[in-house]
Amino acid sequence: MAEGHERIATAFRGPEFREKLKLAEDEARVLTELEAFFGANQEVKPYTEDEARETERKLELLKEAYGLDGVLGVVTSPFTQTYVRKAMPPNIRKRFFTEMYYQVGDRPVQMLQEFEQNTIHVGEDGSISAEDRQRMEDLLRNRVGLLVGGGPGYPTDVSRTPLLLAIEQALRDKTAAAGLCLGHQDLAHLAGFDLVPGSVSAGAQVETPTAAGRQHPVVGRLGERIGAVAFHSAEVQYKQGAGVTILSTGASTGGAPVSLLYGSAFEAPDQVMSTQHHPEVDTGVVPGQNVELTPTEEILDVEGKRLVIPAGIPVGQAAIVRYGASNWEKFRAIGMRPEDLQDVIRPERLFPLLGRNFIGPTIDWLATTRLKNLRGEK
């Protein structure tokens, strides 16, 4: 391993971070194992066009035979939702995916024009008009499934309460659901788990599937070492005996659960799954697969030094570098140099790629789960 990469791997995790930033133990879980992250996801099973057509067939069946609408995306963050759209197979996104925007206070939520009427306005204090409450309940009703995305905030925020109550009602109606990041925290909160603030994620996460995860139709496709983008500042506190199965654990969090399947925690068996990371974000290149590339060169200034993000670098790699540059005081305190950050975006580096290979199977899982529950199958 090159000297610069040793510094990167050390700087993003371990006792040096805790010692130099003087964080409390529960605040010091920086979830990045960047060196391992570079080589993760080499075993990911691609989600094929044939599989996308099979998912579409299931969604058509649910509409025609049971009168259900497609999947509803609950949007709090414009950044993460952009990646959800890009990861969604076009035939499914255009026919069977609707977005609902949950706008807290004056926080902007970037929306597609076709879904402008689906904006729910709520105050920081949880206040919401009767009209918006009804609109939200109508959007959540009669769905195949929910995809609850990431975003700023915590499920314990008062502003989140109206949404959680509406989601809870949808779950009582046996709607299938999948949560990502804040969505993971939302669903775990509804299942009765506590949230521990102060657990820090700094851009990447490496996790390991459990035996149950290896058998799961989504997590089981991702191989023995899963890498994903992760930005959050709290952690779900898992409780044994809560009717929930661990699908994957964090390699750099002392084995803390990352992905969960809620077996008997809700109305129907295995009705809900969620993961703390952001698998919708394509973070790099795997040979033979397409990924969005940065269109133009970008110059950042770090300690008076020019940091170059070249054109043609995967957007996920560029995002990690921008994050490091914007939080430079933190990373400088743990011994990183601008050269180390530049080294992250060497073009020959392989970064994990989930994106479509996670979101496609997740939509299929939502449809399959809803069908099984409607038919009373296990």
Could you tell me what percent of the chain has a pLDDT over 70?
80
For 322-376, how does the pLDDT look when each residue is reduced to its tens digit (9 = 90+)?
878 887 887 777 677 888 777 767 654 545 578 899 999 999 999 999 999 999 8
Q: Which two tokens stand for residue 320?
A: 């990690």
For 199-213, how does the pLDDT look when each residue is reduced to its tens digit (9 = 90+)?
555 556 788 999 999
Rounded to 10 deg, the angle between the 161-172 and 182-190 helix axes is: 60
pLDDT at 34 over 80: no
- CB-CB contact of 124 with 107 (8 Å): no
pLDDT at 9 over 50: no
d(CA 9, CA 3): 10
d(CA 240, CA 52): 36
pLDDT band (50, 70, 90) for residue 26: very low
Instruction: Tell me whether strands 205-209 and 245-250 are parallel, antiparallel or unpaired.
Output: antiparallel
pLDDT of residue 254: 61
Average pLDDT estimate for 6-32: 41
pLDDT at 222 over 50: yes
Place of tokens 């700094």: 202
d(CA 253, CA 161): 29
> How much of the chain is in helix, strand and coil states, percent to nearest 5?
40, 20, 40
pLDDT at 3 over 80: no
pLDDT of residue 341: 77
- CB-CB contact of 213 with 42 (8 Å): no
pLDDT of residue 228: 82
- CB-CB contact of 126 with 159 (8 Å): yes
pLDDT at 316 over 80: no
- Residue from 184, 112, 178 nearest 153 by CA: 184
- CB-CB contact of 315 with 293 (8 Å): yes
Q: Which two tokens stand for residue 179?
A: 């949560």
For 56-98, how does the pLDDT look when each residue is reduced to its tens digit (9 = 90+)?
999 999 999 999 999 999 999 877 888 899 899 999 999 999 9
pLDDT band (50, 70, 90) for residue 314: low
- CB-CB contact of 116 with 103 (8 Å): no
Query: Cα-Cα-Cα-Cα dihedral of 351, 9, 79, 23, to 10°?
Result: 160
Spell out the domain ranges in the chain: 3-23+284-343, 49-282+354-375
Q: Which fold has domain 49-282+354-375?
A: Rossmann fold (3.40.50)
Average pLDDT estimate for 248-260: 79
pLDDT at 1 over 70: no
pLDDT of residue 109: 77
Average pLDDT estimate for 91-113: 90
